[in-house]
Structure 1
């Protein structure tokens, strides 16, 4: 997907929110969007999602299936969690059986089971954000756009977000995510886009970035596992006994 010399302002005669933005979102790539509050991050993400149209320039080659999670999910809607997600699955073009499976899967994964029959306006902010995340994933997205997705979520669900992002990428989809919490440190190989004063600066992924992976092995195989990791060029930082063993 391409942004070709994109400019945006909300009304004629008002300042430009974005100016001369040109960038490319690669298939299977992760882009972290950075910038201070009010810099235009959310506006940029809404343009890419198709929620807003540019005043000048073009957004081209947008994938067919876009999952969009705004910073604050608009929960002031009628209906229950199950009713809303079922309706969104139908909008996504899922047949009834597939829609039911998708709703059940994401309700279970995101811990929404006890809220299925709760009306959306009665949800807490964090629970509403889970619903917003679920609706974006009912049909596997070719492009997933997350605007501050960790805001309001409980710790258990925050831990799920990086894995969900990597699942989308593993299927060949692309992900854009804005973040001011530093959570995206757990998204290896991400490019960065920085929005400041209405302009966009892009940086390629840091191919030298290293990640720490915790691996549990049987005690009898410990020496062999450490040796194999070192043979493959990995650095073994420490070995510890599993808690409770």
Structure 2
């Protein structure tokens, strides 16, 4: 898919949000869209997804099946989760049986099984975002466009997003995903589009930086807060292990007691503790 000399502004004589954007994404490629808030990331993604039409220029080669996940899922709709997803599966071209199987699969995988009969306006932001992700992948998309997909999600689902992206790319789909949380480290090999002052600059994947692993153990009641602080500091959480029995420290994968070390010369990555609720390694 190509964006060819794309310009866009929201009103006549208004400022240009995109200027002469010319970029491409191929089958099986993942592109992370970066830029400060207000730079035009969301606008670029909406043009790519077909939600917005360019004021000038054109988009060519857009796949027939596009999965679009906005930053905030529009949950003010009078449907239950099950009814909404089933309808979206039918809109995507699935027959009733296939739509039902897809809904069963994704509600289970995204932890939505207990919400199937809940109406969309009654969902929390995070749960609504899961519904938004589910509807985008009910039918394997040729293009998956995700606008800040980690926002509002619980730790388990945040860890699942890269796996979903990898699966779409492995099946030959293209993926565009915006990121301002520093989650790009989860998407190894992704290309980058940087949006600044309305222009879009494409760059190849950068070499992965050297990383050190730090193993820590925290009280189970403090896991969520500790994970949030580590993410806010730019660390990658690889995994969160369940609490071990009181007084028991679980060995690591090699059977050794847990140890922790940081090489001051490299960026640390928090990795799952081996005991009591440890932490492991994670404008638009």
Give distance in 2, aligned partners of 1:78 and 1:149: 23
Aligned positions of 1:35-184 closer than 5 A: 35-184=35-184
**Count of residues in correspondence between the two structures:** 220
SS of aligned partner of 2:98: helix
Distance in 2 between the 1:181 and 1:41 partners?
14
The Cα RMSD (Å) is: 1.8
CA distance in 1, matches of 2:95, 2:52: 29
1:185 & 1:217 partners in 2: Cα distance? 23
Bigger relative contact order (CA 8 A; separation at least 6): 1
Point out 4+ residue stretches in structure 1 off by more than 3 angstroms: 210-214, 216-219
Question: Matches of 1:28 and 1:39 in 2, distance apart?
Answer: 26
Evaluate the alpha carbon distance shift between residue 16 and residue 157 of structure 1 in structure 2; reply closer, same or farther with a 3 A threshold: same
Relative to the length of structure 1, the TM-score reads: 0.86
Instruction: Give the drift of 1:143.
Output: 0.7
**TM-superposed deviation, 1:204:** 1.1
Deviation track 1:117-157 (CA, whole Å, cap 9, x = no partner) reads 00001111000000000000000011110000000001110
Q: Helix, strand or coil: the match of 1:76?
A: coil
Alpha-carbon distance in 2 for matches of 1:211, 1:41: 28
Alpha-carbon deviation of 1:243?
4.7
Partners of 2:183 and 2:103 in 1: CA distance: 26
- Within a 5 Å distance, the mapping from 1:202-241 to structure 2 comes to 202-206=202-206, 208-209=207-208
Cα deviation 1:7-62 (Å, max 9, x = unaligned) = 00011110001000000111110100001111100000000000000000000000
In the TM superposition, residue 205 of structure 1 has moved relative to its aligned partner by 1.7
Deviation at 1:184, TM superposition (A): 1.7
Q: State how far apart, in whole Å, the 1-side matches of 2:178 and 2:16 are.
A: 20
Q: Following TM superposition, by how much is the alpha carbon of 1:203 offset from its aligned partner in structure 2, in angstroms?
A: 0.4
The CA deviation at 1:218 is 7.8
Calculate the TM-score normalised by the size of structure 2.
Answer: 0.74
1:13 aligns with 2:13: yes
Partner SS state of residue 129, structure 2? helix
Q: How far did 1:209 drift?
A: 2.7
SS at match of 1:84: helix
| Structure 2: gaps of 5 or more residues | 214-237, 239-251, 256-272, 276-284
More helix by share: 1
Conserved? CA contact 1:188–1:211, under 8 Å: no
CA distance in 2, matches of 1:152, 1:182: 15
SS in structure 1 at match of 2:37: coil
